Every structure is written in C-alpha cells, then in structure tokens.
Amino acid sequence: MNILFFKLALIAYFLSTIGYVTSILVKRVLVAKTSTWILFSAFIIHTIYIVFRWMETGYSPVINLYESLSFIAWAISGSYLAFQTKTKTRILGSFVSPVAFLLMVEASASGGLVGDVSMPAILKGWLVPVHTMLSLTGEALFALACLSGIMYLIQDSFLKKKKSYSFSRLLPPLRDLDRINHICILWGFPLLTLGVIAGSIWARTVWGSHWQWDPKQVWTMISWLLYAFLLHQRLAIGWKGKKAAVLSILAFAILLFAVAGVSILFVTVHNFI
Amino acid sequence: MSIILIGMNHKTAPLHIRERLSISCEEDSGRTLNEIKKISQVHEVMYLATCNRVEVLANMEDVEGSAEKLKAIILSHGNLSHEEMKECLYIYRDDDAMRHLFRVASSLDSMVMGEPQILGQVKAAYRYSVEQKASGIILNKLLHHAFRVAKRVRTETGIANNAVSVSFAAVELAKKIFGYLHGKTVLLVGAGEMSELAAKHLMNNGVSKIIFANRTYENAVRLANDFHGVAVSFDLLVEKLREVDIIISSTGASGYVITEEMVIEALRRRKNRLIFIIDIAVPRDVAPTVEEIDNVYLYNIDNLQEIVDENLRSRMGEAEKAETIIAEEIVNFASWLNTLKVVPAIVSLRKKAEDIIEGELEKSMSWMRSLNEEEKEKIKILASSIVNKILHDPITSLKDESQNSGADPYVAAIMKLFRLEEEK
C-alpha cells in the first residue's frame, strides 16, 4: 500500500520538475505556479507515505539508505515550500524539484522499495531516529543553502559582466538569495548539531565512547566546523553575498561527501544495512 | 460595410505636421468625432490622437468618395495643404486596418517599441467614443479584441521585457540586486538631467530616501527641496557611503570622486551590505577598480547604454513573434465579422418562425382549452422543436458559407424564399 504512495510521490516530483523546466523555457509564470502546486501535492503524498511506512514497519522510516534519501527529498521540498510562501523565489523550485526527484529515483534504485528490511537490534530505541531525522533535516536545509548559493553566484556573475541576459530575469534578486542562504544555515546548523549530539550519546551506549575517529564522523566534523566558521563570519564579522555563498557550497560538498562518498571509499563503522 | 483606418504616425509624417494635426484635433476631439459621425456612410467611429500619431477608425460603407470625405475632415483640422498631407496619410481597409489597429495597441507601431502607454491611450480613445455613442457592435468587438491581442503580445512575447532607457535600466538592475526597493536610500552626487531622471524612477519604484551631495551646497539644497530629500555637504560623502544602498554620480570633476579605498572602508563599516553604484559622469567619477570589489556593482554610462541597445535588439526579435500572434487574431476576428453578415438573415428567419408558432398556437387555443397546463406546455414544446429541427440545417449551412465569403447569394435566396424583411 505505501509503495503506491511512494510511486505517486515520485511521479509528482517528476511532473513538477518537467513543469519547472518548461516554465524556464517558455517564461510563463502560470506554468511555474502550477509546478509549485504539483510539488506541494508531491510533498503531501510523500508525507502520507512516510507516516504509513512508519506505522507499518513500527520503526522510524530513516534507517537505511533508501529511506534516508527519500527523507532528504521530503525535507528539501518542505523547506523550499515554506520559503515559497514567504519570498518571491519561485525559480528556486526549478533547482529544488529536480534534486528531490533525483533523490527519489536514487532511493527507489537502492532497492529498499520492496517492503521489509530486517532491523538490526542495535538500532532500536529512540536515539537513532532522533539522530537521523535531525541530521537529515539539517542536511536538507544545507542543501537548500547550497542551491541558493549557486544561484547567487550565477546572478552575481551576470551582474558583474554587465550584459543583459534573459536568464538573469528569472533568477531572484541577490538580497533574497543571500537571505535564504543565511536562514537555511541559521536553522540547519543547530539541527545538525543536535543530530550529531544525539548520535554520539547513542554511540556511547553501543560502542562505549562518544567519538570513534570514523571517516564519516571526521568528514562530517570538518564540514560542521566550516558551517560554524561561516555562521560566525556572518553574525560577527558581517559576511554577506559572494564569500558566504562560496563557503556554503564548499561546506555542503564536504558534507555530501561525508554522507554519500565515505561509505564507498572508506571502511566505516557508520554502516548498518 | 467595411472597417477603414486613416491616419498618420511618426514614420509617415514629420513632427511639424503631426504637431499641427494632433494639437488642433485634441483641442476638441468631440467636435471631430461628431463631424465624422455626420458623414452618412459612417456607422461607427473612433478617433485617437497622441503625440506620435493620429488615427481614425471607422466602420462605414466603403462607396465611392466616402473615404475621401473622411480624409477631408482630417485635412481641414490641421490647416494643411493636400500636397503636404498626401505623403503622410495612410489608409487601410478591412484586414489591413485590423492589423494596423492590433499593431498599434500592442505597441509594435510605437516609436519605442513595447512602450506601455499606447494601450492606455487607445483605451481612452475608445472610451470617449463609447461615451459619445459613436461606437457600436463592430467597433466594440474590434477594440476589445485589440485589447486582448495587446495582452497576448505582452504576456507571450518578450516585447515589453527589459528596459530600453538608461534610467529604467538602472532601476531594473537595482531590483535584481535588492529585490524590493522599499526602504532603500539613494545618494545623488552632483546633478544632471539623467541622474535626476534615474532618481525619479527609483523613487517611483519605492526608494524611500534621497540624499543629495554637491560641491555647491546651495544646489544640493535646491534639489533636496524639489525631491523632498536631504542635502549634505560634499565633505560628508565618505560618511554617507556607509548608509546608502544606491549611488548615482554625475559630477563634472576631472578626477575620481569615489575611490577604491573609500568603498572598501564603507563596505567594512556597513558590514558588507550590497552597494549599487551608477557612474553617469564623463570623465568618470568612480575609480574603475571599484568594480572588482565583492558586493559592489558598478555600472558606468557605457555599460548601461550597452544593456539598453541589447534590449532593443531583443525586442526586435520578439516583434516577429508578435506579428504571428496578430496574424492569428486577424483570422479570428475576420471569421466573427463574416458570421455577422448572415446574422440579420438568421435573426429574421428565427423571428418569422417564432411568429408562426405563436400565431398557430393562438388559433388552436379554442380546442386546447380542454387540456391541462402540462399538456398545453408539451404541445408548445413539440411545435418549437419541429421548427428548430427544420431550421437547424439551413442556419448551420449559412454560417459555414459565411466563412468562405460566398454567403451573399444564400442570404439573398433565404430572404426571397421566406419573404423576409431585412432588419435595420
């Protein structure tokens, strides 16, 4: 039953991606507005799916890779939709929507779709879902910060080159992009921090120590430090614009590596299923 | 009955002729309209006069000499000789008249293509014609169609996108940087027509505060009074760089008024909030190295002019798309207009049929008295549905024929066979 909702959500993400891309090509606001509504329904269906899955399996739906990818897609779409209600940044949707769609495709490709996964005993308890859900939501917000950072750099280079580009009309103003970048990091940072703390408390109960010097932990910590630095520069020194955008992209690249790349390249204890 | 459009515009008439015509006509366009209405062949008329064009749009009998009468009225207004005028006037009929009207309303025929005022002027002219009861069914439909075409062109092509004047280009750039301009502050260094115009546009777009700095303090005060701004002495320039978001500089100074060091220092103290600097002065007021600083966007007059030129070129490209839309819409309107030719015949045919039903039912009243209401109603429905069935095919065929412009003999035949009177 819940697989049906997953597939419906996947289709809706696909449709909204098509819609957003079309809206850029034909430059019609109505198409973009429709795409936002499709993305919104994708988010609702996805929410239903996650709730059903939770009820069906009896554990939080963020245990294996497939569930995590799907959860990130859900969190990114949700955060973007929340921004959409506040600012005129519809174009951000055409960056968010494909990302969510690809995450969903990746999720369905990573094989967890077919019903039950056996739940290792050590992952039982409430700390694991708290750890994963906080971390993943933080990561989703950082992804959004990264996307708006990329758009900032594009718009900035248009303005510095002093030519009239039709694509530049579609991008939001610099100030809005900078604000989104800032707000996402402002919210993402405490979430990731709490997530990591929850994880380390759990680690102590299972492995006997808070910190393992595991590659995944190390890389996450590097990126966490970069975000901490960025947040400090923004709040204390008053960094704005380009520098902040560049650093938020770099920090996210490292975080992405920690989340996805490490398990492939290194042996990590942070690998469960 | 044809649609005729006579007029002149900035392409066909030199300024001094347009001037005389549009001034004398604008003074009492009511009189012009009434004079034209008096021509017996004219059924409906609309009159548009702006600084770039004079147009008369009429629905009239296009018989020998009727268009000449229309011309004569226009000519008499400007006190112009026929020789002078002949070169300037154009006359369009039917499809060409529609095309011209649609192009005018969509701002394709404007001096600055895509400028938005013309549509408002056309609407005002039409409203006036309605008030004077000079427009009827065809002009009403035609003008509403023109407004719809203009809207389609505006939304489906990029004709009105991108600024085509330096001061609007400045406003557009400011919006790309800051989004809303509400609450933003502008600093005007020096004075000049173009910088004042840019400041005016920025204020119209929400900028809330303007600061004037001038080497001659009195000039700054004068400008501040005109714009409800604040005047500061030139020495305070560095100080002000901290608080303002947009700087427009146009002094006559030979050296740089704003240097790289000044901007870097200002940025540090304003915590890197973005600055947009427009340097209109020649020679330049702002050191060119300023443009390399992050979070500072420096545009000089050449940069702005280049953007404007580029935008004009892209409008030309969009114009081709607009012509396609107009061609489509002409077909749509012409098809409605053609249907109109058979409408009077259809109306009288229906009327006659209804009269017959009415009459026959009247006659049958005596024997129908014994029936109850429901049964009477059923008989009425039966009668009218038989008549409608019979009339359905001829009416549909007539409408079809109207699209091939071969309807006239059919209309004549129907009128004759059914002994219909043409309704006036």
List Cβ neighbours of A56 (8 Å cut-off, separation of 6 or more): A1, A2
Q: What is the CATH number of the domain that holds B116?
A: 3.30.460.30
Domain presence at residue B211: yes
In chain A, % helix, strand, coil (3-state, to 5) comes to: 80, 0, 20
The catalytic position among B2, B26, B37, B51 is B51
Supply B379's token pair.
Answer: 């008989």
Q: Which residue of B has its CA nearest to A170?
A: B176
Instruction: Give chain A's contact residues with B (Cβ, < 8 Å).
Output: 27-28, 88, 155, 159-160, 162-164, 166, 168-169, 171-176, 237-243
In chain A, the percentage of residues whose pLDDT exceeds 70 is 87
Domain presence at residue B55: yes
Q: Which of B161, B177, B295 sits opposite A169 (nearest CB)?
A: B161
Distance (Å) from the C-alpha of residue A256 to the closest C-alpha of chain B? 27
pTM score of the predicted model: 0.72
Distance (Å) from the C-alpha of residue A121 to the closest C-alpha of chain B? 52
Helix ranges, B299-407 (H): 301-368, 373-403
The domain total for chain B is: 3
User: What whole-number distance in Å separates Cα of residue B55 and Cα of residue B69?
Assistant: 15
B183 & B270 share domain: yes
| Least confident span in B260-269, B294-303, B367-376, B383-392 | B367-376
- Considering only CB atoms, which chain B residues are within 8 Å of A243? 294
For A79, phi and psi rounded to 5 degrees?
Answer: -65, -40
Cβ of B294 and A241 within 8 Å? yes
User: What whole-number distance in Å separates Cα of residue B296 and Cα of residue B247?
Assistant: 11
pLDDT in tens, B330-347: 998 988 888 887 888 888
Left, alpha or beta for B256 (phi > 0: left; psi -120 to 50: alpha)? beta
Q: Over chain B, what is the mean pLDDT?
A: 86
Q: What is the extent of the structural domain holding B295? A: 166-308
B117 & B181 share domain: no
- Considering only CB atoms, which chain B residues are within 8 Å of A166? 158, 161-162, 314
User: What whole-number distance in Å separates Cα of residue A256 and Cα of residue A268?
Assistant: 16
User: What whole-number distance in Å separates Cα of residue A227 and Cα of residue B250?
Assistant: 42
Half-sphere exposure of B125 (CA within 13 A, CB side): 30
B179 & B134 share domain: no
> Coil, helix or strand for B2?
strand
B185 & B74 share domain: no
B6 & B150 share domain: yes
Q: Decide if B51 is catalytic.
A: yes
Q: What is the CATH number of the domain that holds B270?
A: 3.40.50.720
Q: Which of B155, B179, B273 sits opposite A176 (nearest CB)?
A: B179
B8 & B148 share domain: yes
pLDDT of amino acid A266: 67
User: What whole-number distance in Å separates Cα of residue A12 and Cα of residue A42?
Assistant: 5
Asked if residue B102 has pLDDT above 70, the reply is: yes
pLDDT in tens, A187-199: 999 999 999 898 8
pLDDT of amino acid A271: 58
pLDDT of amino acid A229: 94
DSSP-assigned states of every residue in A105-163:
HHHHHTTTTSS-----GGG-SSHHHHHHHHHHHHHHHHHHHHHHHHHHHHHHHHHHHT-
CB of B272 within 8 Å of any CB in chain A? Answer: yes
Q: In terms of Cα–Cα distance, which of B82, B104, B78 is closest to B92? A: B104
| 8 Å CB contact between B338 and B403 | yes
| 8 Å CB contact between A87 and A71 | no
- Considering only CB atoms, which chain A residues are within 8 Å of B271? 237-238, 240
| 8 Å CB contact between B87 and B80 | no
Domain presence at residue B245: yes
Domain presence at residue B174: yes
* Among candidate residues B132, B156, B180, the one where a domain is terminated: B156
Cβ of B295 and A162 within 8 Å? no
Asked if residue B25 has pLDDT above 60, the reply is: no
- At A52, the amino acid letter reads F
Domain presence at residue B345: yes
B131 & B25 share domain: yes
Residue A265's CB is within 10 A of a number of other CB atoms, namely: 9
| Least confident span in A110-119, A147-156, B22-31, B167-176 | A110-119
B187 & B210 share domain: yes
Q: Which long-range contacts (CB under 8 A, 24 or more apart) does A14-22 make?
A: A14/A101, A15/A42, A16/A42, A16/A93, A16/A97, A16/A101, A17/A94, A17/A97, A17/A98, A17/A101, A19/A97, A20/A93, A20/A94, A20/A97, A20/A98, A21/A94, A21/A98
For B45, phi and psi rounded to 5 degrees?
Answer: -155, 150
* Among candidate residues B293, B308, B323, the one where a domain is terminated: B308
**Residue with token string 């207004």:** B77
Cβ of B303 and A162 within 8 Å? yes
* Among candidate residues B97, B129, B156, the one where a domain is terminated: B156
Asked if residue A273 has pLDDT above 50, the reply is: no
In chain A, the percentage of residues whose pLDDT exceeds 90 is 23
Cβ of A174 and B299 within 8 Å? no
Domain presence at residue B326: no
Asked if residue B327 has pLDDT above 70, the reply is: yes
B170 & B243 share domain: yes
| Least confident span in A163-177, B103-117, B221-235 | A163-177
Q: Provide the chain B residues 141-160 that lie in CB contact (below 8 A) with chain A.
A: 155, 158
Q: Which long-range contacts (CB under 8 A, 24 or more apart) does A176-179 make?
A: A176/A87, A176/A88, A176/A89, A176/B179, A177/A89, A177/A148, A177/A149, A177/A151, A177/A152, A177/A245, A178/A148, A178/A152, A178/A240, A178/A241, A178/A244, A178/A245, A179/A87
Q: Which of B173, B177, B291 sits opposite A175 (nearest CB)?
A: B177
Of chain A, the end-to-end C-alpha distance in Å amounts to: 23
| 8 Å CB contact between B62 and B4 | yes
Domain presence at residue B399: yes
User: What whole-number distance in Å separates Cα of residue A112 and Cα of residue B300?
Assistant: 58
- At B384, the amino acid letter reads S
CB-neighbour burial class of residue B147 (10 A; exposed 0-12, middle 13-18, buried 19+): middle
User: What whole-number distance in Å separates Cα of residue B162 and Cα of residue B308?
Assistant: 8
Identify the DSSP state of B236: G
pLDDT of amino acid B400: 83
B5 vs A206, residue with greater confidence: B5
B54 & B140 share domain: yes
B9 & B152 share domain: yes
B195 & B236 share domain: yes
pLDDT of amino acid B264: 92
| Least confident span in A166-170, B40-44, B296-300, B418-422 | A166-170
> Coil, helix or strand for B189?
strand
ipTM over 0.95? The verdict is: no
pLDDT confidence tier of residue B422, bands split at 50, 70 and 90: low
> Coil, helix or strand for B330?
helix
Q: What mean pLDDT is predicted for residues B167-174?
A: 86
Q: In terms of Cα–Cα distance, which of B56, B29, B313 is closest to B162? A: B313
pLDDT in tens, A202-229: 888 877 777 777 788 888 899 999 999 9
| 8 Å CB contact between B91 and B67 | yes
Domain presence at residue B325: no
pLDDT in tens, A4-39: 888 888 889 999 999 888 887 776 778 888 888 999
| 8 Å CB contact between B116 and B72 | no
| 8 Å CB contact between B193 and B201 | no
Sign of CA dihedral B411, B417, B423, B424: positive
Size of interface A-B (CB pairs under 8 A): 61
